[in-house]
Chains A and B, each alone.
Chain A
């Protein structure tokens, strides 16, 4: 998990880093003092969540948030000195994840982070490159994914990634990928009764309908059609 904190108050940066590190020591934290520095960080690191002071010097926190929402798949949390109705309205329009009101209350910060973790399925205790691999799988499961490409995306060798993945998750990369695709297939079978099995297989990244049916049967102990029929009966 990569976090970006943008604030021109050095003390506030130190405080947030301290508090987040205390609760999630394995997360990577990046700091920036203004929008210019923040944009550079965003270019060079895959940032999951940004904390933005609403009153940044230069480009404001809200403008930076709009930029992040437009260009990256990343959430923003605004930090304001006191509840300000106008700002809050702006923030809602930009679909910010949440906002924190200064002074920072430990409990409020941790509750917000837990909400984030629950929403995005972050798995505690994983190293940041494995988190990144999982994030990519969750985003791109419908297209072709192979270990070698993933390894180059997180700048490690395929062998190293394969070993690290099995060690941290207790299953191989292939196994995890298939399990995830099948979970998504279940979601689609339920949500789109009009979709053909062929379409479900395509949308979940299986190379063929045969491959899909075999894998599904192996994990769920029934065929996709049986699974769907049972849902309709219930």
Chain B
């Protein structure tokens, strides 16, 4: 009897430290595993943040082509003695710049984005006069949505660069926003001759960047596509209807 007690005691005194050691090891491992998960999470957040900063930086750049054309248009107005038109052009250009250099949240109100883009369009209107026709249709139940900043502007710039500036005669630009259940659909169409990218549905760098931005912001489905239809290039973006500036 005493022998068994002795054996147990010996076993315990030997086993307990070993067991404790094993437990300690396991704890350490678990801890590391937790750390690793946290790190992974942090890495993902940092990547998202990096993309956000890159996206903003890219979107904030003024296209040199647009910048110099605007300056040229303003110089023309001054040389031709059209003081009123020059003031209008300078005001529109200033408002365009003001928005560019305002701190942005992850999401902005569609209306704010539309107002900003309209300054850009105003300057194009000064350059091309009556030959540029712009039509904007916004559905009331979609109007209040939020969206990533600069998204509309990027689409409209794209329409000018690859479509309207290559279109002889009348240039038509159309912007539309619609609600489809829990989603909103924005489209920008132009009657330009269209690029190879457009006919094959391939997105350029600027548009890929917008698409990526949407995917990172929304867990729900979003899409961005380009296609040619009845002599027009149509850019379509779909994202979840967002009535507040938060996802």
Task: Give the B-binding residues of A (Cβ under 8 A).
Answer: 8-12, 14-15, 18-19, 33-34, 36, 55-58, 81-82, 101-104
Contacts and interface: CB of A to CB of B under 8 A. Distances in A.
Contact of A82 (B65, B79, B131): B65
A33 B171 CA distance: 13
Contact of B72 (A8, A58, A104): A104
A81 to B, nearest CB: 5
Interface residues of B, number: 23
Interface in B120-178: 126-129, 131, 165-169
B165 A11 contact: no
A225 to B, nearest CB: 58
Ranked nearest first, the 6 interchain pairs of A and B with the lowest CB-CB distance are A103-B72, A15-B76, A57-B168, A102-B72, A103-B71, A58-B168
B168 A82 contact: no
B84 to A, nearest CB: 14
Given A9-B73, A55-B166, A103-B71, 7 more contacts: A11-B127, A15-B72, A18-B80, A19-B79, A36-B168, A81-B64, A103-B68
Contacts of A15: 72, 75-76, 79-80
Contacts of B97: none
Contacts of B73: 9, 11-12
30 contacts: A8-B128, A9-B73, A10-B129, A10-B131, A11-B73, A11-B77, A11-B126, A11-B129, A12-B72, A14-B76, A15-B72, A15-B75, A15-B76, A15-B79, A15-B80, A18-B79, A34-B168, A34-B169, A55-B165, A56-B168, A57-B168, A57-B169, A81-B64, A81-B68, A102-B71, A102-B72, A103-B68, A103-B71, A103-B72, A103-B75
